[in-house]
Structure 1
Amino acid sequence: MSVQLMAAKMAEVELKDVPNKELSAVSPVTPKATVKGDPSPVTSTPNPMKMPQASAMKRPDPQQNGGEAFVNRDGTVAEAPRMKKQIQFADQKQEFNKRPTKIGRRSLSRSISQSSTDSYSSAASYTDSSDDETSPRDKQQKNSKGNGDFCIKNIKQADFGRREIEIAEQEMPALMALRKRAQGEKPLAGAKVVGCTHITAQTAVLMETLSALGAQCRWAACNIYSTQNEVAAALAEGGFSVFAWKGESEDDFWWCIDRCVNVEGWQPNMILDDGGDLTHWIYKKYPSMFKKIKGIVEESVTGVHRLYQLSKAGKLCVPAMNVNDSVTKQKFDNLYCCRESVLDSSSLKRTTDVMFGGKQVVVCGYGEVGKGCCAALKAMGSIVYVTEIDPICALQACMDGFRLVKLNEVIRQVDIVITCTGNKNVVVRENLDRMKNGCIVCNMGHSNTEIDVVSHPDHVVGRLLNLSCSTVPTFVLSITATTQALALIELYNAPEGRYKQDVYLLPKKMDEYVASLHLPTFDAHLTELTDEQAKYLGLNKNGPFKPNYYRYPAISVLCGFSFVLLVLVCLNVTVPVCVGKCANCKPTLMYTYYSIYCFLLQILNHLAHGKRRLEKLVQLLSPY
């Protein structure tokens, strides 16, 4: 802002001039000008001692509406074409404290700084004309084969997008293996999949895999800022019906979804959703379509909540697969993916240039996404607070070393607020008003409902942090994409009666299969059970190897649990532990925490009644 103001003031001084009639008094050169209506020029002899050295000088004339006079070598003065004087900046940014004008269906991407929101993988956007404000909906586009059943930003970016997809394929070994193994069988032959997810290079690999397995696909974006335009162009060039571009308006968003669903001669029989918007739209506008739909696959916590609400109300017409709560999604995508992407060079670091060491950060929600964010922030030296409604997740946060607070207790002092809940109105207007100047507010959950941006239309424009201005690890997304593909195959090929009109978790066997497809990347080799070992454990040699209630606890929980056991062994403490196998109790994760709680009480008891035991404990821990 200061640079722009300074440049504008300098330009004002430069444009300042005197009228033409006083030019001879100011300049050593008397101008030669052609006056309208008088063909005879007025001349004067130039002063050779003060002749300009440049081939031509130009000076603006404010009385001629910004016209410019050019002084040549011979002293003649020629008037340049009159045009409105403007100061242009290469990277001019729109001020956020001005209310955006109504632009109808035009792209909203120009309402925020491109240098701070374009993802790294959208680098091909330089081929777009920044002055082209025509909405993709108003363009007539066709690919090289003459097909025009798509709506994207620029089909000319297809080559660059294809290179991105090919790079993503190298990091998605499971999908490529699935494509190779099942391509001959075509398990999705006849499937008509309508999808609403983030359109990225990783999604493109999934779509092409589904197509190779026999499915027909039509796709829209689940977020108005996460679409990679070059990838959408590559998909359109490849014959996919894609309706998405980066910077859609709200009207564009729903129009694109409708174009995927409302097609003459084509009706979907499978839904792949992220956030539940596509499912909601079909329920609202085309409920009769559910007569032919075999199932829904949902991958986000927000969409899963919507499905459970429909199921509870008795309005869920088809079986639905909850991919979000599958082990592979929770333990890999939500945790590792968010941990890698929340602070990467394209996300918070690039958009804010802030140093995280010593910064006070509050993370709203300590699910798998929140755990990943907290771990990344803690590693960078930030002071991290956590807000949580679930007592189990809250206890996890405390045992992982984070202070559990209410948002209004720390809102005045924190430097960064990150929401990871999938809920709405987590950060409300009252919180925004109480924040200190310069506080950064960002969302890692779903859509823009978590932060009350509606109450700040003059100041706030934004969407999902790690997809609007960052990228995410392709390998981790390969795990989720493979899970989605298997869920679609399972629901599409399931015999009638296996799944009722309810929400189901992915079978444990499929979770293990997804994980096994990714192991060769690490040159990892599984140990196989012998017949005797399998019989002893009561397991099938090929799995599943864990019961459905097993939660695969995070490494921090395991380390803490092991440390407590080590201390108890040192103190000769024996405590009966319930591990969920008793006849009168149900196996849940809460019993694990209850056991740890009992251990800690025993430790405190022994430390309080024996100084010798305390010395022994200190002696044991001194080498570490």
Structure 2
Amino acid sequence: MNMVSESIVKDMSLAPNGHLKIDWVKEHMPVLNRIRERFEREKPFAGLKVAISLHLEAKTAYLAKVIQAGGAEVTITGSNPLSTQDDVCAALVEDGIRVFAKYNPDPAEYKEHLIKTLETRPDLIIDDGGDLVSILHSERRDLLGQIRGGAEETTTGILRLKALEKEGKLEFPMVAVNDAFCKYLFDNRYGTGQSVWDGINRTTNLVVAGKTVVVVGYGWCGKGVAMRAKGLGAKVIVTEVDAIKAVEAYMDGFEVMPMSEAAKHGDYFVTVTGNRDVIRKEHFEVMKDGAILSNAGHFDVEVNKVELEALSKSKRTVRKDIEEFVMADGRKLYLLAEGRLVNLAAGDGHPAEIMDMTFALQAVSLEYVNKHYQSIGKRVLNVPYELDEMVARYKLEALGIGIDKLTDEQKAYLDSWVE
């Protein structure tokens, strides 16, 4: 089949640069390389179609190639309009993967790309934020037929899946990859922590040391963002709605207060909640002149852009990925990357070594669903611990790190109720 004619990409002439990007991340993803070697031998996806919706950059592209190496016919689209890299898309098409994605499509094009991906009638899916699942369970239920199951990447997507499951409407099994130890402990914390500040710093070119950073939400992503802000020399304030997480933030050494108060102090704001309108009208009204707003949650609803624009008397783009909103009293507030994921819309996303573990989990989770979908049932399931542990073990081996093993006597002691 001719993937060029079947795909929608911006410019095939960009492919050489895309290949260089993919080759670079491949060299830094030893766990995924090891899984690819097995997939090439065993072909666990032979004869199957796989549809992927993820942030379409080099690391994701390499995951698609690993799934392809397992025998699958792969179709991929982006999960965010501003995170797609056109050169990577072109390179994937040359590698025999069908692509429906361009950087910054309008909303209608973005939706069209998702639907075209599903119209290939996949057997398995990998989703990020739940867009594929949402379409399949709403306007395109006609495409549900042969889907065996899939895997979900993010907190936001898992919330949507669990809502479907709770209502008894989920039509196939989905693995909650985001909830695996090797995902949230490393990807969410260290990956988000580093990549958010990579995106903010390259976009603003301003100092962080000495500034006040307000981190909105103290889940694993928020922990990483706060930790890295502290490392850059910032004073950090955390806002939360969960009392337990608020105590944790306090004991981690951060100030904790309501957003109504934190809004008065912040120089930088980073939202990481998965919810909507966590920064809104009453907060914009008390912010300092020059405050910088950014989001690291999946959808661009955490900072209320409608209310921000309504409060402003003028708006302009002052630098790539920075919009300036001038308030009626002359204060200027700055929004990064249209309120979309700042680490991907204004950066390259998580480091390759971090995504190595996450995408290894995606690959083996998809394999697990394919083997067991008939017995799993229509539910959201956690990544089996043995797969999580295997990925961690592969990572340690790639790093040249050894760990201890329990002796038989120690195992017996732990399994016994007597001393």
Question: Which of 372, 378, 387 is the equivalent residue of 1:510?
Answer: 387
Counterpart in 2 of 1:449?
301
Give the letter for the 1:174 counterpart: V
Q: CA deviation at 1:210?
A: 0.3
SS of residue in 1 equivalent to 2:16: helix
CA distance in 1 between counterparts of 2:52 and 2:158 reads: 16
CA distance in 1 between counterparts of 2:145 and 2:343 reads: 37
CA distance in 2 between counterparts of 1:406 and 1:243 reads: 42
Counterpart in 2 of 1:493?
371
Q: CA deviation at 1:252?
A: 1.4
Give the letter for the 2:206 counterpart: V
Q: CA deviation at 1:394?
A: 1.2
CA distance in 1 between counterparts of 2:393 and 2:122 reads: 31
Question: Does the 8 A contact of 2:52 with 2:75 survive in 1?
Answer: yes
CA distance in 1 between counterparts of 2:286 and 2:111 reads: 34
Counterpart in 2 of 1:302?
156
**Does structure 1 residue 343 correspond to structure 2 residue 200?**
no
Q: CA deviation at 1:149?
A: 1.0
CA distance in 2 between counterparts of 1:247 and 1:453 reads: 18
Question: Does the 8 A contact of 1:194 with 1:217 survive in 2?
Answer: yes
Question: Does the 8 A contact of 2:123 with 2:149 survive in 1?
Answer: yes
SS of residue in 1 equivalent to 2:185: helix
SS of residue in 2 equivalent to 1:179: helix
Give the letter for the 1:195 counterpart: I
Counterpart in 2 of 1:160?
17
Counterpart in 2 of 1:607?
none
Q: TM-score, normalised by structure 1?
A: 0.61
Question: Which of 396, 414, 417 is the equivalent residue of 1:537?
Answer: 414
Give the letter for the 1:438 counterpart: G
**Does structure 1 residue 434 correspond to structure 2 residue 319?**
no
**Which runs of at least 4 in structure 1 moved beyond 4 Å after TM superposition?**
none
CA distance in 2 between counterparts of 1:183 and 1:146 reads: 21
Q: TM-score, normalised by structure 2?
A: 0.89
Counterpart in 2 of 1:327?
181
Give the letter for the 1:489 counterpart: E
SS of residue in 2 equivalent to 1:147: helix
**Does structure 1 residue 467 correspond to structure 2 residue 321?**
no
SS of residue in 1 equivalent to 2:35: helix
Question: Does the 8 A contact of 2:86 with 2:102 survive in 1?
Answer: yes
CA distance in 2 between counterparts of 1:515 and 1:476 reads: 11
Give the letter for the 2:405 counterpart: E
Question: Does the 8 A contact of 1:191 with 1:492 survive in 2?
Answer: no
Counterpart in 2 of 1:48?
none
Q: CA deviation at 1:483?
A: 0.4
Structure 1 residues 180 and 398, CA gap change in structure 2 (3 angstroms): same
The structure richer in helix per residue is: 2
CA distance in 2 between counterparts of 1:146 and 1:518 reads: 34
Counterpart in 2 of 1:597?
none
Structure 1 residues 357 and 532, CA gap change in structure 2 (3 angstroms): same
Counterpart in 2 of 1:384?
236
**Does structure 1 residue 210 correspond to structure 2 residue 64?**
no
Q: CA deviation at 1:533?
A: 3.3
Counterpart in 2 of 1:554?
none
CA deviations on 1:117-175 (whole Å, 9 max, x unpaired) are xxxxxxxxxxxxxxxxxxxxxxxxxx9x6731111111001111111111100111111
Counterpart in 2 of 1:185?
42
Q: CA deviation at 1:251?
A: 1.2
Q: CA deviation at 1:197?
A: 0.6
Give the letter for the 1:238 counterpart: D
Q: CA deviation at 1:437?
A: 1.7
SS of residue in 2 equivalent to 1:206: helix
Q: CA deviation at 1:291?
A: 3.0
Q: Taking CA–CA contacts closer than 8 Å with sequence separation of 6 or more, which of the two structures ends up with the larger relative contact order?
A: 2
CA distance in 2 between counterparts of 1:218 and 1:277 reads: 15
Counterpart in 1 of 2:331?
none
Q: CA deviation at 1:294?
A: 1.1
Counterpart in 1 of 2:207?
355
SS of residue in 1 equivalent to 2:41: coil
**Does structure 1 residue 482 correspond to structure 2 residue 360?**
yes
SS of residue in 1 equivalent to 2:377: coil
**Higher Cα Rg: structure 1 or 2?**
1
Q: CA deviation at 1:534?
A: 3.0
Question: Does the 8 A contact of 2:260 with 2:282 survive in 1?
Answer: no
**Does structure 1 residue 314 correspond to structure 2 residue 168?**
yes
- Which structure 1 residue ranges, 5 or more long, are not aligned? 1-142, 540-580, 582-624
Count matched residues: 391
Q: CA deviation at 1:521?
A: 2.6
Counterpart in 1 of 2:319?
none
CA deviations on 1:318-364 (whole Å, 9 max, x unpaired) are 111111111111101000101211222xx212211221122111100
Counterpart in 1 of 2:263?
411
Question: Does the 8 A contact of 2:61 with 2:88 survive in 1?
Answer: yes
CA distance in 1 between counterparts of 2:209 and 2:133 reads: 42
The two structures, once aligned, show a CA RMSD in angstroms of 1.8
Structure 2 counterparts to residues 19-418 of structure 1, below 5 A: 147-262=4-119, 266-344=120-198, 347-418=199-270
Q: CA deviation at 1:314?
A: 0.9
Give the letter for the 2:147 counterpart: I
CA distance in 1 between counterparts of 2:132 and 2:171 reads: 15
